[in-house]
Every structure is written in structure tokens, then in C-alpha cells.
A and B are shown apart, each in its own frame.
Chain A
Amino acid sequence: MGTAYLDHASTTPMLPEAIEAMTAQLGQVGNASSLHATGRRTRRVVEESRETIASALGARPSEVVFTAGGTEADNLAIKGLFWARKRPRILISAVEHHAALDPAHWLADNHGATVELLEVDEHGRVHPDTLRAAIERDPADVALVSVMWANNEVGTVQPIKELAAIAHEHGIPFHTDAVQAVAQLPVSFAESGVDAMTVSGHKVGGPIGVGALLLARGVDPVPVLHGGGQERDVRSGTLDAPAIAGFAAAVRSAVDRRADTADRLSILRDDLISRVREAVPDVIVNGHPTERLPGNAHFSFPGCEGDALLMLLDARGVECSTGSACSAGVAQPSHVLLAMGQDGARARGSLRFSLGHTSTMADVERVGEVIGLVVERARRAGLTSVSRS
């Protein structure tokens, strides 16, 4: 029995061209900061990669700061801009990934920040008026605004350009976590108008452990990592040339093929939704009906626990996610769904299926074949956990 891997939003298989670019570098020695020929050779790989990523994402090469992944880039943007701006208010959407939310809350707990969560509607969208109202309560005191480009759980796409423009009316820097958006949506750093943008390697078919923070000219966060002064002194640490080469190759390919991939994925995704609806008529599809990632299908199954569904699907070769934060492995109801106004029970009975470049119709068919029985069993188990003596 093969496996239907429908968890591409957590990580997607590396593209062959990324593996090739990365492995070509793994056998090479070289520190990109060294002044000798070997160092220069490595530096060339890094700089070409930087140019590739910049051009694919509508940025200038000097705007690309390599990091060890999306979490580090989010931390650098939020902590670094907060420290640089020396003002208390952080305006951040209530549906951010923990990599953005937790640094903000940490700053509130330890560094005097005031975190103000921007409310979302039932589809998970931040309305421009919400941001405008929040800023205008005291524009001079806002350190930064952070709203993700597309949500990792329910796939809802935010009106980033509009939101960034509102922040700019008051001269406030705007950060967006775009790790889910690149490769599925058209993403241009320059056109979006954002000041800082998080990108991750392994979400687009590159290696795990590398990412970047795109930083517009004149946006200078205080570093989180201090050391050798690499990456214009914003992010110290020896550059990981093999990972960066793989990352660049993946971004290039994923962005080049984005339109075709998006068309293909949205057809598969819509088919998956209709199959699930057919098998489970009372299923609820979460997220925005149209403004959503083409590869994302997010459901609530009334009367079920998400972890029971996940286990039963796993046993039948279907791999998906409850999309919720796991601390110590204990599933908490998703803060994203709660922010969208759902109750705890519905939030706990949710599953995310996320498609990517290797997804096929056979994967979708597999879900259709098993979801009915799986939901029926999970419902029976759900009844046992509510009835107690």
C-alpha cells in the first residue's frame, strides 16, 4: 500500500533540481567569508543563489538575508524591528503561526511590549479597517505590524498589499510571513510593499534548515544572533552554501512553475473537497471560499476528535495534519480556528489536507475511499469521550 502524503504545508518533498544543486555543493569545501580562492568560489555560489531568489521574488539581491529557516526569520523580523523601533505596540494578526506569535508574546512578557491581536473574520481574514483602527488608536507607539501572507492551517490569503499600505501611511514597518504563499501564489516583495518578508526553503521544495528574511532598504532590525557580522551584520553565522544553493534552485523552479502548479492543485483540491462532502455530508469546509491557497483543504468533522481521525487515516495510508500546535504532543484546539469564532469542539474536530507538487489524483481518490468509515469510527469514539460516569 502506498502512502497518500497530503501534508505538504508541513513540509514538501525536495525538488530534483534542488537536490542536485545542494549535493553538488556538499562535496565542496569553502567558507563564503574566506578571502582565498576557495572562499571566493563559495561566495559566488551564495551570491548567485541570492540573486536567483531575489529575482524570483521581486526583490533586490541586497534585500535577501539568509537564515536557518522560517522560524528564525520571523524571530528576527519581530524582535529585531521591535528593538530597533523602541516603541511598545506590536500589531499582529490573531491567526499567525507560533513562530511569529510567540516572539511577540515573549517580548510582551520580557521586554515591555504590548501585543495587540488583530481580529479576523469567520474566514480568517484581517480587514483593512481593523488594522487602520488599531493603528489609529496611537500611531506613534506602534513598533511594527505583522500579518502572514497566507495562513498555514486554513489557507486563507490576506490582503497584504492593502494592509502594508495602511501601515505605511503612518511610517510603520510591515512584516509578513510568506512561507506558505511562495510557490502557490504570485509573490512579489517589491509590489506588495512590505518591509520584511519571511521565506522558508523546505516549504517550496528546498532543504529544511534554510530560509530568508527579505528586508527592504533602510529596514534594519537589531540582530538576534551576534557574531561574525555576515549578512550585512543582521544575521551572523557561517553561510550554509549547500543549503542556500538548494533553496535557490527550489525557489527558481517553484516560482517558474507556479501558475501551472496552482491550477493543477486547485483542481485536485476541489475534487478532494467534493469527495469528502459526498462521504460526510455534514462536513464543514473552513477558510475563505475563494481567497485561499490552491493546495489547502481544511475541514471540521462534527462529533470527531482530530487526533482520532488522523490516527485512523494514518493507519490507512493517508497522511494529513490536525494543523494544531503540539506542545508535549497534546493537541490544543487551534488558535486559528478559535480566532475565526469557532467553538473548541469544532476546532478539535478539524483536519488539514495540504497538496503539493507530488500530489496526484490517486491521493485524492484514496481520501474519498476511506474518509467515510474513518469519520464514522471517530464519531463513535468521540461519543465515548464525552460520556463519563
Chain B
Amino acid sequence: MLAAMSGGVDSAVAAARIAEAGHDVTGIHLALSSNPQSYRTGARGCCTLEDSRDARRAADVIGIPFYIWDMAERFHHDVVEDFVNEYAAGRTPNPCLRCNEKIKFEAVLDRALALGFDAVATGHHARLSDGVLRRSVDEGKDQSYVLGVLTREQLAHAIFPLGDSTKAQVRAEAAERGLAVADKPDSHDICFIADGDTRAFLSERLGTSEGPIVDALTGQVVGSHEGAFGFTVGQRKGLRIDHPAGDGRPRYVLSIEPVSNTVTVGPRAALEVRGIVGERPVWNGHVPEPYEPIRCTVQLRAHGEVYGCRAQLSGDLLHIELDTPATGVAPGQGAVLYDGDTVIGSATIASAV
């Protein structure tokens, strides 16, 4: 088995567990930047020189072979460029989800299988029962959402050894095992944006171009911005609206129109959506493809709220009707469907009404 080791505590303990269970384990660290300095993020990211050293050291302690796999080109193409292009198209991508889909469980998995490995293990907090993805027992740390895009075939070769443990248990176990990463801080930010300033990262790549901020209720131009890509549906802060709204209520981003470079804002109530259309659906759970509507729940962003819904597949699209309205549903994010704590499918949000 191949253990993908980021240099963090989770993947180190995951590797240690499968090695202890008697599997023949090889550790790998993914080099995601051909110039590691450029993605340097202190101790929080997942692709610094320090992280690769931490991963190597953990592999030494566990007693497994360890190598660095250079995935920089694939990562740049499939994750970083995709991230920039999605923003340019007015959507809000989730790069972690994309990295799982395209890097860890496609590029790495394909290579691993070709080299004779059976599976790829990661330190994600999620469970796999008979090939079906479930939430971690640690609800606060659950990462089933960012894995919801994986196909049945991908899940068949995935191992998540941490799903039955809480983060606190994982940290304690790391300390017991003598893994020096036991008290390393969690990573939060996007690993390839060193300072966490997404807007600056995007304007460096997309350039700035001034455009209007339009109030949906009045149709009036209420301000200007330096690039529609800097905004996310549901965003309230940093709008720099010149004229207060007539109703005196705060304004939120309702939509982003990249061609005319227009950001439309409106009151919170206008953000509420009940219907969501998802594209590129993946059906990966224990229930058959719902060509008739089924009842389930849906999560619309990482660590986001869960909504009761009816879901139905038609053609290449997934239609979701929410029981209660949701706000801040951003095209480009994943919609992951659950039956209880079990993932049954997912799609990328295309539009919401």
C-alpha cells in the first residue's frame, strides 16, 4: 500500500496504523511545487520543504520506505490553473476537493496501481465501509465532503485509517508513537497561496479590471471593484459600496458576471435559494442512481450546514430541491449528498435559484 504523507500528524498516524496492521507500506510525499519556496506557507501548508522533511522523519520512525513524488506539473495544471480559471468564470472552486479528485486519487492512484500497489491511504478524517464513504466519528474534523467527488472505482482503492478516531485521539497516538509531528498545527488555508490572500493571488494572475457593483433591487450602480473574480456569492465584507442601500440593510454578493465584469449585490433575503443544479454528478454510495427523486441531505460547502432535500438525476445534471432555503450557495463548490452519515453522491454546483 502507498501512504500519502503530507508531513502533518494525520497522514503520519494513518501510515503508522496500516504499517502496524501488517501491510507492506511505502510512504510518499507529493512535491506540488517544482520550486518549493514559492508555495511556502510556514508550518501550516502542505507543500513546504519543512513538511517534506517532517514526512520523511515520520516514515523513518514508522520504519517504512519513503520517496518524494513530483506532482508539481499535474498539480499546477489540474488544481492551481483550474482554481484561477474557475474564479475567472465567476465561480468559487474548492481546490482541496479538486486535489483529491485529480491528484491524490487520480494521478497518484493511477501511478501507484501501475507500479504494483493495491491502494492509496491518506490521513483524511472519513470512514469507508464496504467501499462506501461515511463521515468521521469526529464531526468537527469530518472530511467526507472533500472526498465526496471520488468515484466508486477511486474509493475501491482508497484507505482512510483515521475515520474511527477523533483528532484528539490521533494527536495522542502520534505522541505515543514518538512522531514529532504530534503537536504540529492543523493546516487551514489553501496550500498554494502562501500568505492566505486569495484576492491578491488572483489579481496577480488575472490582472485587475474595474467593473460595477450593481444593486439587484434598484438596478443602480452602487460602487466599483477591481475584478469580479475577487468576490464570492454570499460575501458581505469588503464590498466597498459607496451608497448605502435604500432599505438601510447590509448588502451581500448575489451573483458574479465575468463577461460584463459585474458584481450584483442585494439583501440577505435575495441570497436564499431552494433549487440547485449540479453538473458532473458522481454516484458513489449504496443507493442506485435516482432517476426518480429521492429524499436525502446535502452539504453545500466544507464544514457547512446540512439541508434536507429531494435529489434527482436527469441526464448529466443533478437537481436538488432544499426543504429550507440556503444562503451563500456559490457555483463551483461541491454539493455532496448524504443518507444519514453516508455519502451517496455529489455534483459541482452550476446554478442555484
Write the residues of chain A forming the contact surface with B, with a CB cutoff of 8 angstroms: 307-308, 310-312, 314-315, 328-331, 377-378, 380-381, 383-385, 388-389
8 pairs, A vs B, C-beta closer than 8 Å: A307-B67, A377-B114, A381-B110, A384-B110, A384-B111, A384-B114, A385-B74, A388-B107
Q: Given the complex, which residues of B lie within 8 Å of A389, measured CB to CB? A: 78, 102, 106
The answer to whether A315 and B26 touch across the interface, beta carbons within 8 angstroms, is: yes
CB-contacts of B191-250 with A (<8 A): none
The answer to whether A307 and B114 touch across the interface, beta carbons within 8 angstroms, is: no
B180 at the interface (CB under 8 A from A): no
Q: Answer whether A388 and B114 are a contact pair too, CB < 8 Å, given A315-B65, A328-B52.
A: no
- Surface stretch bound by A, among B28-36, B135-143, B300-308: B28-36
B326 at the interface (CB under 8 A from A): no
Interface residues on B, range: 20 to 34
A383 vs B106: C-alpha distance in the bound complex, in angstroms?
13
The answer to whether A388 and B78 touch across the interface, beta carbons within 8 angstroms, is: yes
The answer to whether A314 and B115 touch across the interface, beta carbons within 8 angstroms, is: no
B72 at the interface (CB under 8 A from A): yes
Those 8 A-B pairs whose CB atoms lie nearest each other, nearest first? A329-B68, A381-B114, A380-B114, A384-B110, A330-B31, A328-B36, A381-B111, A381-B115
Main secondary structure of the interface of B (DSSP, over half): helix
The answer to whether B26 and A330 touch across the interface, beta carbons within 8 angstroms, is: no
Q: Given the complex, which residues of B lie within 8 Å of A377, measured CB to CB? A: 114-116
CB-contacts of B71-122 with A (<8 A): 72, 74, 77-78, 102, 106-107, 110-111, 114-116
A314 vs B26: C-alpha distance in the bound complex, in angstroms?
11
B69 at the interface (CB under 8 A from A): yes
A314 vs B27: C-alpha distance in the bound complex, in angstroms?
13
Q: Answer whether A308 and B115 are a contact pair too, CB < 8 Å, given A328-B52, A329-B68.
A: yes
Out of A314, A329, A378, A381, which one reaches B31, CB within 8 Å?
A329
Q: Answer whether A383 and B31 are a contact pair too, CB < 8 Å, given A307-B67, A307-B70, A328-B36.
A: no
The answer to whether A330 and B70 touch across the interface, beta carbons within 8 angstroms, is: yes
The distance from the CB of A343 to the nearest CB of chain B, in whole angstroms, is 16
B49 at the interface (CB under 8 A from A): yes
Q: Answer whether A388 and B77 are a contact pair too, CB < 8 Å, given A311-B65, A381-B115.
A: yes
The distance from the CB of B210 to the nearest CB of chain A, in whole angstroms, is 35
Write the residues of chain B forming the contact surface with A, with a CB cutoff of 8 angstroms: 26, 29, 31, 34, 36, 49, 52, 56, 65, 67-70, 72, 74, 77-78, 102, 106-107, 110-111, 114-116
Q: Given the complex, which residues of A lie within 8 Å of B52, measured CB to CB? A: 328-329
Q: Given the complex, which residues of A lie within 8 Å of B77, measured CB to CB? A: 388
Which residue on A lies nearest to B36, using beta carbons? Answer: A328
**Listed residue (B36, B56, B77, B111) with the most chain A CB atoms within 10 angstroms of its CB:** B111
Q: Given the complex, which residues of A lie within 8 Å of B115, measured CB to CB? A: 308, 311-312, 377-378, 380-381
Q: Given the complex, which residues of B lie within 8 Å of A307, measured CB to CB? A: 67-70
A388 vs B74: C-alpha distance in the bound complex, in angstroms?
8
The distance from the CB of A324 to the nearest CB of chain B, in whole angstroms, is 11
Q: Given the complex, which residues of B lie within 8 Å of A311, measured CB to CB? A: 26, 65, 67, 115
Q: Given the complex, which residues of A lie within 8 Å of B102, measured CB to CB? A: 389
The distance from the CB of B242 to the nearest CB of chain A, in whole angstroms, is 44
The answer to whether A328 and B31 touch across the interface, beta carbons within 8 angstroms, is: yes
A371 vs B114: C-alpha distance in the bound complex, in angstroms?
16
The answer to whether A331 and B70 touch across the interface, beta carbons within 8 angstroms, is: yes
Q: Given the complex, which residues of B lie within 8 Å of A315, measured CB to CB? A: 26, 65
Supply 12 further A-B pairs (C-beta < 8 A) apart from A330-B68, A377-B114, A384-B114: A308-B111, A311-B26, A311-B65, A328-B52, A329-B67, A331-B70, A380-B115, A381-B111, A381-B114, A381-B115, A385-B74, A388-B78
Q: Given the complex, which residues of B lie within 8 Å of A378, measured CB to CB? A: 115
Q: Given the complex, which residues of A lie within 8 Å of B26, measured CB to CB? A: 311, 315
A330 vs B69: C-alpha distance in the bound complex, in angstroms?
7
Out of B29, B65, B107, B116, which one reaches A384, CB within 8 Å?
B107
Q: Given the complex, which residues of B lie within 8 Å of A384, measured CB to CB? A: 107, 110-111, 114
Q: Given the complex, which residues of A lie within 8 Å of B106, measured CB to CB? A: 389
Q: Answer whether A330 and B34 are a contact pair too, CB < 8 Å, given A307-B67, A314-B65.
A: yes
The answer to whether B107 and A330 touch across the interface, beta carbons within 8 angstroms, is: no
Q: Given the complex, which residues of A lie within 8 Å of B56, measured CB to CB? A: 329
The distance from the CB of B191 to the nearest CB of chain A, in whole angstroms, is 15
The answer to whether B65 and A329 touch across the interface, beta carbons within 8 angstroms, is: no
A43 vs B115: C-alpha distance in the bound complex, in angstroms?
55
